[in-house]
Every structure is written in structure tokens, then in C-alpha cells.
Structure 1
């Protein structure tokens, strides 16, 4: 079990965990360094989803074949992750994640039904325990508009060194999250052929040949931000 707070693209504060030190390194330390930006749970929290959700309900169509999954998420050795999504004041949110390892197997239908029924009580408890996220140096609670602007600026900072157009940056985001060409086309309301053109242009500009190369560039940028 782990509980993270989410505030736009900012580094998510850890609110609670039940991991061993070795597990915490993967689920918390590594996650907070940058992989959270590609996490379906992070995106769902920022989008203000509420209630009980399973990873399989939120993940993009190519999530389990994505470089993010192969390079980071597979290290967790999870059979399944589910979560209670709790919107807080302003644009903040927290997610209480429950996980089962491959050795145990995924949550059964009855388990998921019980957890879904428990959602109102769990959400109420979480809001009582954490009515707001830790300030982390912020003097005052920013408005929703300010948070949205900060989120956009933070993402712009992430990709600014890539010399890409605004649309190409959107495509990069979706590719790294695990969306297929068809899924990207639906999300951006363009035709799949246009997505393929954007991907070719992105690969040419970044001098890479695959999604693995794109993910490696993402890791380089995150490492540079931390450094």
C-alpha cells in the first residue's frame, strides 16, 4: 500500500507506505524521480477522477507494451494495482494504491467489488486525514488557474530542450504514456496518418529510431532536472 499526493506535474509527496527499504527504493524513490509523470494513476488524479479504479481501466491501450512499462513498471513485479482516487481542495488530489505481486495474482472479481463498495468510506477517511497536501515551501494555496498554468509550464520545461513544436510535445507525452497511434489520434482529434508524420519528425529531430530511444531521452532530461 502507498499513498501519494498529486499537484499537477510537481514531484508527488509521499503520505504513507508499507514497503520494505528495498521495495521503497523502487515504489517511492525511483518513482518520485520522474516515472510518476508517465503513470496512469498520476494522470487520472490530475484529471480529478474520484472513486475506485483498477490500473487496467485507466492505462492506455499500449501501456503494457510501452518502454515505460518495460523499463520501470515491470521492476515492481506487480500482478495488479488498484487505487482509491481522492480529489482535495483546489486541484490537489491523493491516491491510495493497493498492490498485489505476481506471486499472489491479481485482485479477484469479488475483491474488486468489495473495494469498490468501500470507496465512499475510504475517500471520506482520506479527506479527514489529509484535507490538503503538504505545502512543500508554498506560502499559500494557489488558485486552480495558477496550478493549471504551473502544470503547463512544468511540462514545457521538461520538453523545452527537445526543440519540438507544441503538437510534437503532445505526441511525445502520449507515446511515452503508452498510447498507440490510433489512441493518440483520438486524443488529439487528428487522423492516424498525421500522428505518424509527427512521430517521424520527432524521431528525426531527436536522432533516434525507436520508442526506447525516446524513453532514454526522457530519462536524460529527468536526470538533468534532478541534477
Structure 2
């Protein structure tokens, strides 16, 4: 693994004396820094706040790729994304997608229906909690043709993680107003927080109990019945009974139908 020192120094030099930068300006510098250290195909930066629609801060996709990686993702699939759930937990560090994914993620309906469209071999994210309960996630992605990141490359990213976090906290803070503006544009207001977000009400509207809601959301995220039982401190048999009851209530017979119903009622 070779480090492009010249490109790295050029990126650092672009930061000198800059008290503030645009999203694209800082995003480009981050991309150049990472390019000097490891190989990747795409960069995307999302900001997350609670269950709200994530904000696309920076990305390197072309128009068609943007539809899959950003537009479709923001429409609802983000709620089932391991990166989204890790961001909500306010974890800080650099993680591989496969480290964070549930035990059945790669056979889940979310993976088969949405994630496989990305054509990715691997995704690594820098998770940086900032202000106002917001977490910024900077993702490096590799297509299937490029293969996964090597252990040496991942170790390099771990070494630079603290620097990336410091840079993000300096240049990408104060995002609360952006989320507020997004809510306002969608006909909502932070003052209406007593009315639960659509992501919280969709299962209630379908007449599911709190326990049933917790179970079906974990199912859609890619957890097995055994994993759900461990997370909720109930037996695997109890999980399976709840799943059968949910399918009966909703008049469905497969996880494909469950995901379709979920996404339809989110819109």
C-alpha cells in the first residue's frame, strides 16, 4: 500500500487559513486526503438527526448513481441501514459495514431489494457526532469489481480517524437549522414534535403493538429470530409467534410484502 504524500500535503495546504468552507470545498479536500491513502470508488457524506430524513452533504456520484445512492435512500430505505442506526446511537469511530450489519443483513429483504442495487463490495464509514444530536457519516465505497478494503487499508483509516473527526467538528457543525428547514419544507415543524414522525407512526397506523413494531423493524433490518430474542430479552419462540401474528394482522405471507407495505406507508 503506497501513500501519495504529495496529494496528501496538497490537501492539507488547502485547509491552511480557512476558518470556514463550503460543503463541496471541504468534501473535495476529504476526498483528496483519502485518495492519497486508500483506493475507493465513491465518497458520500450524510448527516443524520433522529429519524429525520438524512441530509446529503457531499457525494461524488453521477446523475444515475445519485438516484440509487441518495434519492431512493432518502425516500425510506435509510431507516433500515446499519449506518443510520449506528449514527443514531452516537457512536464515534471508523467502521466497516459488515461490522455493524445484523446477522441476516445480507439475506434480508432490504439488502435484496435496495442495497444490492448499489453494486458495492464494501462500505467504510467515519462516524462523527457533532452538535444538536447530529452525526455526520463520511463513507468510502468500493464497487464489486474493486473488491473489499484490505486490513492494511482499514488500519490506515483507523489511524487518521481522529484527524478526520477534528476536521468535521470544525467545518461541518451548526447543521441543526438545515434539518429544521428540511422539516419546514416538508410541511412540518419542530414544534410539532408531540406528533410522532411518520417513521414512528406507520406501524401504529397498521394496528401493530409496541412489541410487534419492535420485532418487525428488527426483521426488516436483517436480524434473525435468535438475534431479535437476544436484543429484546425474549425467547426465539416468542419472536416467531409475534411474527406470525403480524403477518396475519397485515394479511401478508412474506418479508417482501412486509417491506413493500412499510415503504408504501412511509410515503
Q: Same fold (TM over 0.5)?
A: yes
Q: CA deviation at 1:64?
A: 0.3
Corresponding residue of 1:138: 180
After superposition, what is the alpha-carbon deviation per residue over 1:154-206, rounded to whole angstroms, capped at 9, x for unaligned?
23223222100110000111001000000000111111111001000000000
What's the Cα RMSD here? 1.8
Aligned position for 1:162: 206
Separation in 2, partners of 1:19, 1:162: 36
Give 1:136 shift: 3.4
> Which aligned runs of 4 or more in structure 1 are off by greater than 6 angstroms?
none
Match of 2:70 in 1: 28
1:144 is matched with which residue? none
Structure of larger gyration radius: 2
Match of 1:191 among 206, 216, 235: 235
Which residue is equivalent to 2:253?
A: 209
Query: Closer, same or farther in 2 for the Cα pair 1:150/1:118, shift >3 Å?
Result: farther
Counterpart of 2:147? 105
For residues 178 and 219 of structure 2, the distance between their equivalents in structure 1, rounded to whole angstroms, comes to 31
> How far, CA to CA, are the matches of 1:9 and 1:101 in structure 2?
28
Residues 5 and 12 of structure 1 are in contact (CA less than 8 Å); yes or no, is this contact kept in structure 2? yes
Q: Which moved more, 1:54-63 or 1:127-136?
A: 127-136
The TM-score normalised by the length of structure 2 is 0.77
Alignment of 1:83 with 2:125, yes or no, is yes
Closer/same/farther in 2, CA of residues 151 and 218 from structure 1, 3 Å limit: farther
Task: Quote the Cα distance in structure 1 between the aligned partners of 2:201 and 2:128.
Answer: 28
- Structure number with the bigger relative contact order (C-alpha 8 A, sep ≥ 6) is 1
Alpha carbons 1:92, 1:132 under 8 Å: kept: no
Over 3 Å counting, the alpha-carbon distance change for 1:137 and 1:12 in structure 2 is closer
Q: Please report the TM-score for the alignment, with normalisation by the length of structure 1.
A: 0.90
1:177 correspondence with 2:217: no
Which residue number corresponds to residue 143 of structure 1? none
What are the ranges of 5 or more consecutive residues in structure 2 without an aligned counterpart? 1-42, 182-189
TM-superposed deviation, 1:219 = 1.8
Q: Distance in 2 between matches of 1:165 and 1:191?
A: 18
- Cα contact 1:2–1:16 (8 A) shared by 2: yes
Whether 1:3 and 2:45 are equivalent positions in the alignment is: yes
1:153 and 2:196 correspond? yes
> How far did residue 130 of structure 1 move?
0.7
Within 2, Cα distance between the matches of 1:13 and 1:135?
Answer: 12
In structure 2, the partner of 1:219 is 263
Q: Which moved more, 1:130-139 or 1:189-198?
A: 130-139
